[in-house]
Structure 1
Amino acid sequence: MQPVVVAIDGPSGSGKSSVSRAVARHFGYGYLDTGAMYRAVTVYCLRQGIDLSDADAVVAAAEELPLGLGADPDDPAVTLDEEDIAAAIRTSEVSAVVSAVATNLGVRAVLQDAQRELIDAIAEDWGGVVAEGRDITTVVAPDADVRVLLTASEEARLARRSTELHGSADEAAVAATHDQIVRRDRDDSTVSQFTEAADGVVLLDTSALDFDGSVGALVEIVTATLARAS
């Protein structure tokens, strides 16, 4: 059988990373977190003292990035020069500035080429891949077997990310998380379309679903789409 490519896009806090990993695990597919690649470039630039407003310098950093990515959904490792940076890329310092890298069109071109190569390689190795990000369904893998825009209301996304980061969804926690969700989505939407489903992309709104419900709904979409294509 031909390897299967499942492309998942969505805004911050929609649950696309955790849900995509679970779906990859369900089908025995590999997993690719493309957002981690932009965060890794950010970490690399910060460590090298590269000004994120220097577009050309950041592109050069993306081109030379000594990045390693694990495709196992149970252990999606992220390394720089074999150093584990899975925790480093999720810090508030990186979250606050990663949009400067993600909105750099030169960086996007470099990483999109790398993502296409990774999708092909992971799908071949695992028999399938679930790749998630912001422009996977439209730019990176528009010919994917399954394309889904996974979204949720702003209220739901803020509550989820607040609980993830602060252990609570109370007013103070939501306020502390607001910039990471709303501002980053606003910035990133200037270079990537992830707020509305493009033609042929299935919309999955998880606002009223818990984690298991979201995973189940996505599994159903993948199963039904593949069945129709067979």
Structure 2
Amino acid sequence: MDGPSGSGKSSASRGVARALGLRYLDTGAMYRAVTWWMLDRGVDLGDPQAVAAVAGEPALAMSTDPDAPGVTVDGVDVSGPIRGAQVTRAVSAVSAVPEVRARMVAMQREIIAVSLPTGGIVVEGRDIGTVVAPDAPVKVFLTASAEARAHRRTAELDGTTVEAQKAEMARRDALDSNRKADPLAKAADAVELDTTPLDLDEVIAEVLRLVKERA
């Protein structure tokens, strides 16, 4: 499940995983966790070489329970702190560093491999269908209008406005879509689903229909 922020990936992915009895992985949380770790240690995120030099140091552990997703770094639960404004502003810069992406993709593929014998996993992010799991039997690319995405994100966060979120999402979209390493992109064989007019239950139902049809 790929798509930009605010398109409904997280809620839909967890809902689909619950419905099918599968594991769930939020790859964006992994990049956020690494970003949090670097901010906490004062790494200069404007210097890609400085980011690359420590990309292998933070020890990440992911929960793949769709009812209790989370991430720890060096044994510290950072599931809450990684959603803060400071991490949100910085994560695209960290995610663009090839050394960071190489480590995260390797970890994500390992988590997928471990999950397959137990039934499978729903993985969400921005490069899952194109880079992380190009052989996945079902690929969905979620989209939504800028207005809808901004309204959804504003409802999730305190102390922000729809206009502020529209500007922030436009900034992140540009960074994520234009980075050299694994940019946000729709896989050629992915089904694009516009979630603008749909509620969460309708999005989940449509994805489950695609799963039944394709798998």
Amino acid corresponding to residue 201 of structure 1 in structure 2: A
Q: Which residue of structure 2 lines up, in the alignment, with residue 183 of structure 1?
A: 171
CA distance in 2, matches of 1:166, 1:174: 11
Aligned equivalents of 1:165 and 1:218: distance in 2? 26
Task: Give the match for residue 26 of structure 1.
Answer: 19
Give the match for residue 111 of structure 2. Answer: 118
Counterpart among 91, 105, 109 of residue 98 in structure 1: 91
Distance 1:87 1:67 in 2: 15
Pairwise CA RMSD: 1.6
Once residues 139 and 208 of structure 2 are traced to their aligned partners in structure 1, the CA distance between those partners, rounded to angstroms, is 12
Moved more, 135-144 or 149-158: 149-158
**Counterpart in the other structure of 1:139:** 131
**Residues of 2 paired with 1:91 and 1:154: CA distance?**
21
Deviation at 1:33, TM superposition (A): 0.6
Runs (4 or more) in structure 1 with deviation over 3 Å come to 192-195
Q: Hey, what does 2:214 align to over in structure 1?
A: 225
- The equivalent of 1:194 in structure 2 is 184
Which 5+ residue runs of structure 1 have no aligned equivalent? 1-7
| Residue 83 of structure 1 pairs with residue 72 of structure 2 | no
Mapped partners of 1:62, 1:114: distance in 2: 13
Report the Cα distance in structure 2 between the residues aligned to 1:163 and 1:81, rounded to whole angstroms: 31
- Are 2:153 and 1:164 equivalent residues in the alignment? no
Q: Distance in 2 between matches of 1:219 and 1:52?
A: 39
Q: Report what 1:3 is aligned to.
A: none
Correspondence for 1:208: 197
In the other structure, the counterpart of 1:4 is none
Q: Structure 1 residues 211-220 or 53-62, which shifts more? A: 53-62
CA drift at 1:63: 1.1
- Supply the distance in 2 between the matched residues of 1:104 and 1:117 (Cα, whole angstroms): 20
TM-score in terms of structure 1 length: 0.88
* One-letter amino acid of the structure 2 residue matched with residue 205 of structure 1: D
With the length of structure 2 as denominator, give the TM-score of the two structures: 0.93
- Alpha-carbon offset, residue 193 of structure 1: 4.3
Could you tell me which of 16, 19, 39 is aligned with 1:46? 39
Q: Which amino acid aligns with 1:198?
A: A
User: Residues of 1 paired with 2:210 and 2:14: CA distance?
Assistant: 15
Aligned residue number for residue 145 of structure 2: 153
Number of residue-to-residue matches in the alignment: 213
- Structure 2: stretches of 5+ with no match in the other structure: none
Secondary structure at the aligned position of 1:63 is classed as coil
